[in-house]
Chains A and B, each alone.
Chain A
Amino acid sequence: MLDARGSVNNLRGAPLGQRSFHMANIFAVFYRSSVGKKIIVAITGVILILFVIGHLLGNLQIFIGPDWINGYSQHLHDLGPLLWLIRAFLFIAVVFHIYLTILLAIENRRARPEPYIDKRYVKADFASRHMVMSGLIVLAFIAYHLAHFSFRKTDPRFALLKPDPLGHYDVYSMMVYGFQNYFVSGFYLLGLFLLALHLSHGSSSFFQSLGLNDKKMTPRLALAGRIFAWLLFAGYTSIPVAILLGLIKPAQQL
């Protein structure tokens, strides 16, 4: 039986006034708090969004011709240690982004031990309610993507490609051969769809988490975020689609 007496006065047993608020290390407080975690998720999210934009701009060079994209790839490789620094930075961002969201998701599940029998959402859309799901599938996709195009472990043909006339690795042809496979392209489309779903919420949501919006801006940002996410989707998918439609052909024959 629940006695109401202590319940308003006490927080987990101790009267609030005597309960010391351990604010000594403000960064620890920040990191442990729900709001702090969200802010870190938002900042790492922004970093990843910037990467996604940059990556797309690089890839779209495929439409200009093999020299462009192969040269771009070579430039990146020429950065040497700096490239590894950027990769490490992105990796840390990904780790934090995922680790904290999973932590938050576990807490969220605990916050409602007994679920509703009947639940209807008025405003929360599918994307916003399934960020962890979409995020984790995107993670699996990224792992495959890295193995596929960065480490080139999945397709033995990629090792057979000859350097292009300028002496660069032929990224152009690699992509074309890679995407000519329907299964591969299909998986990319699915991965990109979930990425877009993830970003359709995430790319406006970070404004909220960082406190950068107000009542008027929120709906506009939400719309802009959705448009942004699906533009990214269109941009990224244009490459495999163009290849499958035969609009882009390999620069060399195997």
Chain B
Amino acid sequence: MIGSFDAKIPPGPLAQKWRSHRDHSRLVSPNNRRKLEIIVVGSGLAGGSAAATLGELGYRVKCFCFQDSPRRAHSIAAQGGINAAKNYQNDGDSVYRLFYDTIKGGDFRSREANVYRLAEIANNIIDQCVAQGVPFAREYSGYLANRSFGGAQVSRTFYARGQTGQQLLLGCYQALCRQIAAGTVRMFPQTEMLDLVIVDRQAKGIITRSLRSGNIERHAADAVVLASGGYGNVYYLSTNARGSNVTATYRAYKRGALFANPSFTQIHPTCIPVSGEHQSKLTLMSESLRNDGRVWVPKRKEDREKAPGEIHDADRDYYLERKYPSYGNLAPRDISSRAAKEVCDEGRGVGPGGRGVYLDFADAIKRLGEETIRERYGNLFEVYEKITGEDAYKVPMRIYPAVHYTMGGLWVDYDLMSNVPGLFVIGEANFSDHGANRLGASALMQGLADGYFVLPNTLPNYLASQMGKRPSPDSPEFLQAEQDVRAKIDRLLKINGTRSLDSFHRELGLLLWEKCGMSRHEKGLREALQKIPELRQEFWRDVRVLGMNEDFNQSLERAGRVADFLEFAELMCKDALERDESAGAHFREEHQTSDGEALRDDERHAAVFAWEFGGDGQPPKLHREPLRFETVHLTQRSYK
């Protein structure tokens, strides 16, 4: 293995770790910073905020994104909000509670020290974003407003209508624009990272392809930061953007970076149900809707076809309120998703195919008035009407779970550096803070914490020893990596088979959704592990990719991504099989309590599973990082 597999958690009491770590980290002086080049791959909340902040500190930054502008990164689609323990509501919130809720929500499969740091930094993020002009919702007093969100009993979520992700991303995009104008950051839009270059067992550059022209370029740097997001699109249908992919992180994995917990994928409970076979993506309805909406299905199967208005209250099963009286409709995502699947499996699901449950606002409208609901969720209701043609002010919404977020990602230590020295991974691309399940409104928090506050403070710890060590992009390692990339592209273009890319991707997605989706079991996983290599073989034999490299060639660009998904899916299933317990979003049917809740195995599996690439055609090697809990007491999660 390249580098070291040590989390490097700083010593000392939990609440002091981050401060004392910063007190003792190495620094790079301002006049040396301009001699150091840093590559940032991705321009979402994590990548954008990191690139802007590093540029502001005086480093020379190159930032890459596949979109035509950094403002279009998929962070923009996050709706609900961002958590912080400001306790503006005086409802008993604190940094410790935010930390505890997050680690408990993650079903105790994340590191205490990382999560505590995240909770600490959350307050600074709100300050920073307000200073940048993010138009958070406010009360009539002019002070910031909060709302409650799934998995918490306090109101700690800051929001900007239903477009919080958009507003946070634009704040960070604007900060990035300031640095681009100042010349500290060079932006490379529509440029995709296709390989990581390792020189002397350290990450020192990347190979990229311009999606516009097909130009393949070598970029050398003193450190590489991956902020390329999650891999939810491995399922084909997900709430991710069409372009979201695993390529950057997966190719880093193939160069020696460890991939942690790939099977931890979150299924979001409130999405618009699938309507037809040509659907290209699923649309999320913010979880914040569950604040005022009540989730129900008919008590009897026979009522399934009835119009919702004709089903009397007594004949409705408000199953979340029934099963989880204290959290009710605000139960965490994994629990809500599985509960929906359960009632639909019982045949009580509504809508086409019986794959949907109602999210009903009638009571809230009666209580608060339609105007208030419109103010809170107006744009979500509009989106719903556009897609389904139904007016949710009049009839209840239909929702169903969909793949949404991936907790797994490249393994990183406390400094957010992977085992490969010089390779840093931030945001959704790393595995660090959400354990086996992410709580609502904490993805934005983590992305910005990593980019604005953690990485700029931990990167110097590595860079301080790297002055003058940047290799030339013409060194043999770079030339070799470029050749590998070109060879792969040529191979894809030469197949000239009969099947389309989407048909492979769709088939893979369906397989994973069934075998490695909301619930998993050993037999299914083994079947998937057998089928994926077959599908992959067929892909390399029969896929049809037209055109050439030196062009704006969308088929080629997608082909590379689907090829990586086809390999990555196997790793996911392997991880799901190896993790012989249920934890958070990873629900193994063999391991559940008598009332159907996830049953952890803390003895054997309180650990991070980090996978090392074993070579093409070789099985990956598993490394376990045991999780030690010094402050929290491991409990069976209960939201009753």
Contacts and interface: CB of A to CB of B under 8 A. Distances in A.
A15 B210 CA distance: 21
B319 interface: no
A7 B69 CA distance: 11
A2 B183 contact: no
B69 A5 contact: no
B190 interface: yes
Contact of A17 (B68, B182, B189, B190): B182
Contacts of B549: none
A9 B211 CA distance: 17
A16 B188 contact: no
Contacts of B212: 1-4
B633 to A, nearest CB: 51
B25 interface: no
Contacts of A15: 181, 183
Contact size range, A: 10 to 19
A31 B186 CA distance: 33
A8 B213 contact: no
Determine the main DSSP class of B at the interface with A: loop
A108 interface: no
A3 B181 contact: no
Interface in A7-21: 7-9, 15-18
Interface residues of B, number: 18
Interface string A91-104: 00000000000000
Contact of B213 (A2, A9, A17, A18): A2
Contacts of A2: 212-213
Given A8-B69, A9-B186, A9-B187, A16 B181 contact: yes
A48 B136 CA distance: 45
Contacts of A7: 189
A8 B62 CA distance: 12
Given A1-B213, A2-B213, A8 B183 contact: no
Given A1-B213, A4-B212, A18 B183 contact: yes
Contact of A3 (B69, B186, B210): B210
Nearest to A19: B181
B180 interface: yes
B388 interface: no
B215 interface: yes
Interface of B: 68-69, 180-183, 186-191, 210-213, 215, 550
Given A8-B180, A15-B181, 5 more contacts: A1-B212, A1-B213, A4-B190, A8-B69, A17-B181
22 contacts: A1-B212, A1-B550, A3-B210, A3-B213, A3-B215, A4-B68, A4-B188, A4-B210, A4-B211, A5-B186, A5-B188, A5-B191, A5-B210, A7-B189, A8-B69, A8-B180, A8-B187, A9-B180, A9-B186, A15-B181, A16-B181, A17-B182
